[in-house]
Amino acid sequence: DGGITQSPKYLFRKEGQNVTLSCEQNLNHDAMYWYRQDPGQGLRLIYYSQIVNDFQKGDIAEGYSVSREKKESFPLTVTSAQKNPTAFYLCASSPTGLAGAFEQFFGPGTRLTVL
Amino acid sequence: GQQLNQSPQSMFIQEGEDVSMNCTSSSIFNTWLWYKQDPGEGPVLLIALYKAGELTSNGRLTAQFGITRKDSFLNISASIPSDVGIYFCAGQGETSGSRLTFGEGTQLTVNP
């Protein structure tokens, strides 16, 4: 089955620790995205990547870092510099250069709680 | 940056009723997308619109790309309990590349 997987579903970390959220897709999509969702709010873009070895900051990149070494993978690190990291994190991917290129498909999300 | 205003913020309806929600933008969009999110899950794409004036259906759902390219509407007919969730609009602008701008969402509650 083609799709996007995120792991783990729930993640707990102590204040001051870095933590990495996994995102893998087997849809052969070029572009991948990370969003943050807070209760009762919409989606805010953290980082995105349109091609391997390249990525751009979104609207709320401070305190986060990413890498894109493989087409299938786009891990997100929440660093200790992120002041309010508790949130629901969503990964998405989309094709590029084709009809439907702007249709983003989402993973199931990771809920991060800082203790 | 681009902003999307989605309304209403929440709706409480009886099973069987029709539902309408809309999004408006301060700038022109080339693409409008509608998503549904169940609690604790990722959003699922419902309908994608690519041309001004386009009207597209997906079962009981119908969405339209506004003729001004600054708005879009989603209608749900004969609602059922499993329609409960948050509905998001998203738009892709002329200068945003593959980035999408998302509305704040409409929380739909359906009473049996």
Tell me, yes or no, if A94 comes closer than 8 A to chain B by beta carbon: yes
Report H helices in A1-115.
Answer: none
* Average pLDDT of span B23-45: 95
pLDDT band at residue B104, thresholds of 50, 70 and 90?
very high
Residue B3 has pLDDT above 90, yes or no: no
Tell me the pLDDT tens digit for each residue of B68-103.
Answer: 999 999 999 999 999 999 999 999 988 777 889 999
Pairing of β A76-78 and β A64-66: antiparallel
Q: What percent of chain B has pLDDT over 90?
A: 88
The partner residue sitting opposite B48, judged by closest CB among A58, A59, A100, is: A100
**Among B2, B88, B3, B86, CA closest to B47:** B88
Q: How many cross-chain Cβ pairs, A to B, lie less than 8 Å apart?
A: 54
Q: In whole angstroms, give the CA distance from residue B45 to residue A84.
A: 29
Single-letter residue type at A24:
E
Whether chain B has a CB inside 8 Å of the CB on A111: the answer is yes
Identify the three-state secondary structure at position B83.
helix
What is the band of A40 on the pLDDT scale with cuts at 50, 70, 90? confident
Mean pLDDT of chain B: 94
> B-side interface with A, Cβ within 8 Å?
1, 30-31, 33, 35, 40-45, 48, 88, 90, 92, 97-100, 102-105
pLDDT of residue B2: 63
User: Is residue A102 within 8 angstroms of chain B, CB to CB?
Assistant: yes
Residue B6: exposure state from Cβ atoms within 10 A (0-12, 13-18, ≥19) = buried
